[in-house]
Structure 1
Amino acid sequence: MHAIHIVSGGTGASAEQVVRTVTAQFPSSEVAVTVHAGIRDADGTVVHTLVSAPLRNLLVRSAQRRGIVEIDLAGKLIERLSWVLDKPAAGQPGRYRQLRSEYFSRIEAIEYAVEHDDGRNSSGWPQADVLVLGTSRVGKTPLCMVLATQGWRAANLPLVPEIPPPADLHRVVPGKVVGLTIDPSRLIEHRTWRARVLGLPAPSPYVDLARIEDEVEEARLLFRRNGFAVVDATDMPVEELAHAVMKRVER
């Protein structure tokens, strides 16, 4: 982007009109026009926060040659941190805004994951970056929270025997849906622990190996019929699982 600065003792309106008339002849180019109006004396002060060292030094030298007072709000701190941390500064304008934007994106993603956990608010699935499907205790919620910390809006749906998925599933782009599968012998371990925590009576269909095998197979058939990507979560740490999902999804 090219910058044009108009300095005027009045409003600068006449000069601005001429400049904008001319820049309109270059519609494919970005030109930033800034008007500095009401300049009546030479006693002004230039305050700057340029993070690019070459630009900062150029401004300082130019101000000194013209006897203009300039105050560098960023340079000394940048130089100090570069020396203390023993590494050069990035020198990239707009980094703070970018970091804040990334931070708020993560916050929004975490809020989305909480609101769309365990099949809730299925009407919002089309806005998801990824929709995770899987049987109970396959690891959907922890996975979605890890994805959310990376700025991904992740929803999840538990697949329950005899209960068909909501119709909203067909409103989601298939490339954004990931099915988690797991070895039944590992899944029964997860469910047995969960059953004890919940105080479920034994024996229970929830921890019946034959039923679990049927659930896992039904889930695989669902994934195959709809062309969903499949990731095996057996013995995979949640961080690695999140990485595998991000590689498979068309974000």
Structure 2
Amino acid sequence: MTDQIPVIYVISDALGETAEFVSRAAAAQFNGIKTKIRRVPYVLDETHIDDILEEAVEEQAILVYTLVLTNLRLYIERRAKEKNLITIDILSPLISALADKTGLDPKNIPNVTHRLDEQYFRKVEAVEFAVKYDDGKDPRGLLYADVVLIGVSRTSKTPLSMYLAHKGIKAANIPLVPEVTPPRELYEVPRNKVFGLILGPEKLNQIRSERLKTLGLGASADYANLNRIMEELDYAKQIMKKIGCVIIDTTNKAVEETASVILQKVTINGELRKDG
């Protein structure tokens, strides 16, 4: 048994997640042995391979790769053999088997999986954005949002932001309170990106009263007081009219319905986004 820690170079024309996962699964079969795994993503030319091999020789690393371009696969195999390095080709055997089985030629397009998953990553980014800029946490985010939602408390700003995020829309939201001046950034956002949410006072009173009950507080608190609610709604409408944004009455609308209205109106990168 050698005292040298095995080193695995994960080489990929994309992120290298697949090869790294396989490498870690294999290493896990050897209890008590530490394994050093180095991921090298976006390898797209022979020069890059040469640089990697020079470093790999020093550590006598095992080369685990997922390269779909034939010329790069042949090159890494030839150069690694010259340097007495072990190589493991993760993708080629399965690609060849599928080609034989289907009679079709593979695309051989690097990073094709992540290109197909671009929509997924956009959703993840949008969800992270919605969390970061929820409830006015950082008004600077308003300038980078696809959609800005404004309204008084309990008008479904946060649930709507998250719903839009799952459609790939970066949404930020700002609560409107009479005692708090809206951030200046709100007035710098193009008005076609801003949507004001309002709710009937009686409905809002009911929602807030239930909220207070869940918190173990009395329903008579100012938060659920009908006069206070009407004062907040009047203030919110003034701000919305000043901005000139679209105002949506969500009294009898589910979050999905409100989102559909927004998705039909919002323009991103010059293209009209449709719901679904």
TM-score tier after normalising by the smaller chain length:
0.5 to 0.7
| Structure 2: segments with no counterpart, 5+ residues | 1-68, 76-91, 269-276
Alpha-carbon offset, residue 238 of structure 1: 1.0
Q: Is the counterpart of residue 162 in structure 1 residue 187 in structure 2?
A: no
In structure 2, the CA distance between the partners of 1:245 and 1:203, relative to structure 1 (3 Å rule), is same
1:206 corresponds to which residue? Answer: 223
1:178 equivalent in structure 2: 195
Q: 1:102 to 1:235 in 2, by over 3 A?
A: same
- Counterparts of 2:102 and 2:246, CA distance in 1: 49
Equivalence for 1:241: 258
Question: Is the Cα–Cα contact under 8 Å of residues 116 and 156 in structure 1 kept in the other structure?
Answer: yes
Identity %: 37
1:46-125 equivalence runs, <5 A: 71=96, 73-74=98-99, 76=101, 96-125=113-142
Q: Does 1:138 align with 2:155?
A: yes
Q: 1:138-184: CA deviations, max 9, x gaps?
A: 10000000000111111111111221101121222221111001111
Conserved? CA contact 2:209–2:219, under 8 Å: no
| Aligned equivalent of 2:242 | 225
1:96 Cα offset (Å) = 3.8
3-state SS, counterpart of residue 181 of structure 2: coil
Q: In the aligned structure 2, how far is the partner of 1:75 from the partner of 1:195?
A: 65
Tell me the alpha carbon deviations over residues 113-149 of structure 1, each in whole angstroms, 9 at most, x when there is no partner.
0011111111121110101001100100000000001
Structure 1 residue aligned with 2:37: none
C-alpha spacing 1:48/1:35, structure 2 compared with 1 (3 Å): closer
Q: Residue 170 of structure 1: SS of its match in structure 2?
A: helix
Deviation at 1:205, TM superposition (A): 1.4
Instruction: Give the direction of change, closer, same or farther, for the CA distance of 1:73–1:207 in structure 2 (3 Å limit).
Output: same
Looking at structure 1, the residues matched to 189 and 171 of structure 2 have their Cα atoms a distance apart, in angstroms, of: 12
CA contact (8 A) 1:174 1:226 kept: yes
Q: Is the contact between residue 179 and residue 231 of structure 1 (CA under 8 Å) also seen in structure 2? A: yes
**Is this contact kept in 2: 1:48–1:74, CA < 8 A?**
no
1:149 lines up with 2:174 in the alignment:
no
Residue 150 of structure 1 aligns to which amino acid in structure 2?
K
Aligned residue type for 2:155? V
Conserved? CA contact 1:135–1:215, under 8 Å: yes
> What number of residue pairs does the alignment pair up?
180
RMSD: 3.1
d(CA) in 1 for partners of 2:140, 2:103: 48
Please tell me whether the aligned partners of residues 177 and 249 of structure 1 are also in contact (alpha carbons under 8 angstroms): no
Q: Distance in 1 between matches of 2:186 and 2:263?
A: 20
Q: From the CA coordinates, give the structure whose radius of gyration is larger.
A: 1
* Equivalent AA in structure 1 for residue 169 of structure 2: W
Q: Secondary structure at the match of 1:220?
A: helix
Q: What amino acid maps onto 2:236 in structure 1?
A: A
Q: Secondary structure at the match of 1:235?
A: coil
Q: Deviations over 1:38-65 (max 9, x none)?
A: 99xxxxxxx8999xxxxxxxxxxxxxxx
1:97 Cα deviation after fit? 3.6
Pair 177,110 (structure 1): closer, same or farther in 2 beyond 3 Å: same
- Residue 197 of structure 1 deviates from its aligned partner by 1.5
Where does residue 267 of structure 2 map in the other structure?
Answer: 250
Structure 1 residue 207, shift from structure 2 partner: 0.8
Aligned to 2:232: 215
Aligned-pair distance for 1:95? 7.0
Matches within 5 A, 1:34-49: none
SS, match of residue 172 in structure 2: strand
Q: The residue matched to 1:156 in structure 2 has which SS? A: strand
Deviation for aligned residue 1:241: 1.3
Give TM-score scaled by structure 2 length: 0.58
1:191 correspondence with 2:216: no
Aligned equivalents of 1:192, 1:149: Cα separation in 2: 30
Residues 35 and 98 (structure 1), Cα distance of their counterparts in 2 relative to 1, 3 Å cut: closer
